[in-house]
Structure 1
């Protein structure tokens, strides 16, 4: 048993070989009763020693089966009920240490699922290599990313900031350096990090709470105006038969809220979340995303970058070469979709649907419409917006891409969304096998190299390739192990 004194009280963790771990430490008070739909509040101090040997509760969410894939390593087992879920886990090397680099993990899941406890994202390997790793929960869905009139907006982002403030105040007691913190995340977690980079609330005293950021398959292009997001508020209120305000949503318990979230998330749910220009920035992947136009995100993130915000944080950002394969290959959609359905699907999010698909080869002999749709969405949803974020970044920015393809689904899964995770965390054993994301016999050598890149960047900002800029467009290919110059994509003509 290991013990550490935090600002709020003493906690006890567990020893696991050369690593010590602490689970379920609260960074904010439980967001229930009078604190529901309110900004995160300080933890009430405790006396005695708080047990931090089990993960504890998670934010309310539901995990669904995914055809042909074991998703438990990726996203966990689902909702663990309990009020006290604004918590974090910490992994650190055993022994007396000080001034160790710190990495704070923000999980993905479309802002509606996931937790700090997904097995694939265990921080043990980072602690093994001399880094203190922290993973956090935050509010999801209706509780965290619905701009309800009468309640503060962007509560999930506010939770993340509160967790980073907790790290600043407490991590030295665990042997970490509060002045050398890197926040990193994937998918929704990466989108959130890209947003937070531009937030004035990340700089409570003029300086950012982090020194570096790693954005994995994310960018700053997935936010909505509060006005557009109000359509979602009204749709949910109609489904729940409540008033579209704070009083109405406070009358709904978490389970009933999840029922409504499931209903509004169906592809058949009739709701228009397009911007005035006809674009839907999430392409239907999730209804719930952060909003801009408040105190958390006064400006859309790209506009904030253009204004010079973000120059005080070093950035590593990247994507996987075939992101959308995760959504379209296991479901069989890629091989089943015809020409007109491809155009319809694209038109729901992109006003120039026909021109986009034609640019990617629709109508050319031998090109299957579903494959053309897949290729276009790879670029429009993830790859090009990430490059736009790097283009506008006012500080030091480096870009990577994972081009290694999983042999799963007869080699069709490829370099899909989420594929970098077992390489970054060096947890390939949990993603391998017939139903594993990385398939059978993925390359450990690539995991060793990728994990080391992340560790070195967190420790000192070191990376073995030059910065990204509009002219050179150097992107480090992880499998190849070198930077290549990449020309602008076809998506550049159709995206912001």
Structure 2
């Protein structure tokens, strides 16, 4: 036998052996899944499987800081995915259970996968990809709040992702596009699309879901050519689209202030990459509003950038113009969205004169109409409650009404609306929110993670959490929240002739809260920071 033939037979034998090994791993050990980069080992619980800290891109550190995410290199041995990874670089100020207890690192491009226990490559379970919120500066998908055990038990695969935040994710200059965190999200979505079949998922049935900045991200993905192939439906919870993403000029101004704080030239990558993570975060924390900035820009100092390529247009403008990717969509908000922001920004009482000044700053052309509908408290009393109501309507509720109606008129895909109004029996860490439904307080019910959050809900609230889970599972499975698991009431879609919203309380009802709303009618005339001007 000649040497060439002998070597060929040896290689053939090795390949057959490896194929058998891969087949054995895939078919006989539920804790091990073969991805395109290599095999990973997760945890098999009694009711589900979970794979923590699965890498979807190379660590964006050293020379990869402020670079587009790069695919992982293949690995040979089975990689253990048994514990969650640190949150992306940040100084987390979110409530307990929303910040990682594991730590903080720039090496953070990992995701967590929750699957039904019986999932196999032939299962074809629907998939939800979840983008966490946090004003693009804090937050993580790898925290107890987003534990997706209940969804996995309900025959849905959930993937919670992480992405670079703050200046590390969204620094825009003449040389840097400023969308590194946004591209991290797309890279994670691409990884899910290419690999989720091995976990038992159907990559033709992927719902993209986000809350707050995560929902803002979902809206941006609905405009981006680079995202479109990776999802088939969308859920937007509490998205403040009115704030708008940064334009290039604004992004550069913010980046310049950061560069001055950290002691580097704005385009001096050698200097910028030479700074430690702590130095980066300290300099970032000093960046606030500057003269000429708009007061609402304080909600997101850092955000994705409308660069004409990755994000071609403001999402709200795209909705107005019918330039968003048409998919079945759920949009919704909670009753007192802005209360925690107002009480965080304004630590002391806002008097009648200061309130009028603030309204004039935010609504220079419409202030008198706004003041009639949102009058200040009497002199000597606090106007923060009415300011919180006004900003809730402007950033969330009325903008959602505008978006929902526009989408329903322009799209043939179904559009569903919700308004969450339940005040938790457990109270709230912020006194101003103790008897209100503040931004983000619904999430532990949406994920059924309230026990991990230390919340002792009453029986009606636990039933409500199951009902919400069922609506979301049904939507992810069939794009219709009414088909599949039992639900308490029919959730009618919004159409060009029917405005229906699911009111979420311990009892559910569908009603029209859109058509007759004088406050939203006036706020529509502000054109939401001119993003939807005719």
TM-score, normalised relative to structure 1 = 0.88
Corresponding residue of 2:61? 32
> Structure 1 residue 30: deviation in Å?
1.0
Of residues 200, 205, 208, the one that matches 1:175 is: 200
Q: Is the 8 A contact 1:12 1:53 kept in 2?
A: yes
Corresponding residue of 2:502? 476
C-alpha deviations, 1:92-138, integer Å up to 9, x for none?
Answer: 11124310000111101110111111201111111011111100110
> Structure 1 residue 91: deviation in Å?
0.7
Of residues 397, 400, 405, the one that matches 1:386 is: 400
Residue 126 of structure 2 corresponds to residue 101 of structure 1? yes
Alpha-carbon distance in 2 for matches of 1:161, 1:116: 15
Alpha-carbon distance in 2 for matches of 1:473, 1:373: 27
Alpha-carbon distance in 2 for matches of 1:133, 1:150: 36
C-alpha deviations, 1:2-33, integer Å up to 9, x for none?
Answer: 10000000000012221111011111111122
Q: CA RMSD in A?
A: 2.6
Alpha-carbon distance in 1 for matches of 2:204, 2:155: 16
Alpha-carbon distance in 1 for matches of 2:345, 2:284: 25
Q: Is the 8 A contact 2:38 2:78 kept in 1?
A: yes
Q: Is the 8 A contact 1:231 1:271 kept in 2?
A: no
Alpha-carbon distance in 2 for matches of 1:123, 1:198: 27
Alpha-carbon distance in 2 for matches of 1:182, 1:211: 6
Number of residue pairs matched by the alignment: 472
> Structure 1 residue 459: deviation in Å?
0.8
Alpha-carbon distance in 2 for matches of 1:320, 1:165: 31
Q: Does the residue aligned with 2:98 lie in a helix, a strand or coil?
A: helix
Corresponding residue of 1:270? 290
- Unaligned 5+ runs, structure 1: 275-279
> Structure 1 residue 350: deviation in Å?
3.8
Alpha-carbon distance in 1 for matches of 2:82, 2:337: 36
Which range moved further: 406-415 or 125-134? 406-415
Q: Is the 8 A contact 1:334 1:374 kept in 2?
A: no
Residue 375 of structure 2 corresponds to residue 336 of structure 1? no
Q: Does the residue aligned with 1:472 lie in a helix, a strand or coil?
A: coil
CA separation of 1:374/1:78 partners in 2, compared to 1, >3 Å: closer, same or farther?
farther
Q: Is the 8 A contact 1:148 1:246 kept in 2?
A: no
CA separation of 1:146/1:388 partners in 2, compared to 1, >3 Å: closer, same or farther?
farther
CA separation of 1:289/1:411 partners in 2, compared to 1, >3 Å: closer, same or farther?
closer
Corresponding residue of 1:232? 254
Residue 208 of structure 2 corresponds to residue 191 of structure 1? no
More helix by share: 2
Alpha-carbon distance in 2 for matches of 1:411, 1:33: 42
C-alpha deviations, 1:278-333, integer Å up to 9, x for none?
Answer: xx5x452220112213311111112323443335311101000111123345x595
Residue 355 of structure 2 corresponds to residue 323 of structure 1? no
Q: Does the residue aligned with 2:194 lie in a helix, a strand or coil?
A: helix
Alpha-carbon distance in 1 for matches of 2:259, 2:364: 28
- Bigger radius of gyration: 2
CA separation of 1:202/1:367 partners in 2, compared to 1, >3 Å: closer, same or farther?
same
CA separation of 1:448/1:459 partners in 2, compared to 1, >3 Å: closer, same or farther?
same
Corresponding residue of 2:148? 123
> Structure 1 residue 430: deviation in Å?
3.7
Q: Is the 8 A contact 1:432 1:442 kept in 2?
A: no
> Structure 1 residue 411: deviation in Å?
7.0
Alpha-carbon distance in 1 for matches of 2:282, 2:259: 12
Q: Does the residue aligned with 1:4 lie in a helix, a strand or coil?
A: strand
Write out aligned runs for 1:24-103 (5 A): 24-64=53-93, 71-77=95-101, 79-81=103-105, 83=107, 85-97=108-120, 98-103=123-128
CA separation of 1:140/1:104 partners in 2, compared to 1, >3 Å: closer, same or farther?
same
Q: Does the residue aligned with 1:193 lie in a helix, a strand or coil?
A: helix
Corresponding residue of 1:491? 523
Corresponding residue of 2:317? 303
Q: Does the residue aligned with 1:72 lie in a helix, a strand or coil?
A: coil
> Structure 1 residue 470: deviation in Å?
6.0
Corresponding residue of 2:306? 292
CA separation of 1:311/1:44 partners in 2, compared to 1, >3 Å: closer, same or farther?
closer
